[in-house]
């Protein structure tokens, strides 16, 4: 009799493990990637659509960006972090190879004080973020001054 109980407990533990795994796989979001375009976000950076004039919104490493309408998500993108790298450019040699950064969304590109991105821009990177993945001396053709 004890052998049957031990087997039932082992089967129950296995079933519980698979149930927990399945539930966590369904409920927990997985990250994914996509290809988009980026341009340069010039100062002034305040106020922002996410946090107004609060200067504490900016990460200490100054790697932040403004989200385009495609990723803005009615403001839900505020505070989200994205891994960004430069894969290609319309100007040869603009990308800095093997550079990957993590930026925090702090603004909405359409309402950014300093730049107005063109419609195909995915995100607008702050000076520091842009210069870590692309040559800042290469003009950004995807934004225009306000």
Q: Write out pLDDT tens, residues 63-97.
A: 999 999 889 999 999 999 999 999 888 888 889 98
Give residue 140's pLDDT band: very low, low, confident or very high (50, 70, 90).
low
Q: Which residues, 6+ apart, have CB-to-CB distance to 22 below 8 Å?
A: none
Cis peptide before 47 (omega within 30 of 0): yes
Q: Name the residue with higher pLDDT: 110 or 66.
A: 66
Sign of CA dihedral 61, 63, 54, 77: negative
Does residue 144 surpass a pLDDT of 50? no
Q: What confidence score (pLDDT) does residue 5 get?
A: 73
Lowest mean pLDDT across 3-17, 70-84, 97-111, 127-141: 3-17
pLDDT tens for 44-60 read: 899 999 999 999 999 99
């Amino acid at each position: 009799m004890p052998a049957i109980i031990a087997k039932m407990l082992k089967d129950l533990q296995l079933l519980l493990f698979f149930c927990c795994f399945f539930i966590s796989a369904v409920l927990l979001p997985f990250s994914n990637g996509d290809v988009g375009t980026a341009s340069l976000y010039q100062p002034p950076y305040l106020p922002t659509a996410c946090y107004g004039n609060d200067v504490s919104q900016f990460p200490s490493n100054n790697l932040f960006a403004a989200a385009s309408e495609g990723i803005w998500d009615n403001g839900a993108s505020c505070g989200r972090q994205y891994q960004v790298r430069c894969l290609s450019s319309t100007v040869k040699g603009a990308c800095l190879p093997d550079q990957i950064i993590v930026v925090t969304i702090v603004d909405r590109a359409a309402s950014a004080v300093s730049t107005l991105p063109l419609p195909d821009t995915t995100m607008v990177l702050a000076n520091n973020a842009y210069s870590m993945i692309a040559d800042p001396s290469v003009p950004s053709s995807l934004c225009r001054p306000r």
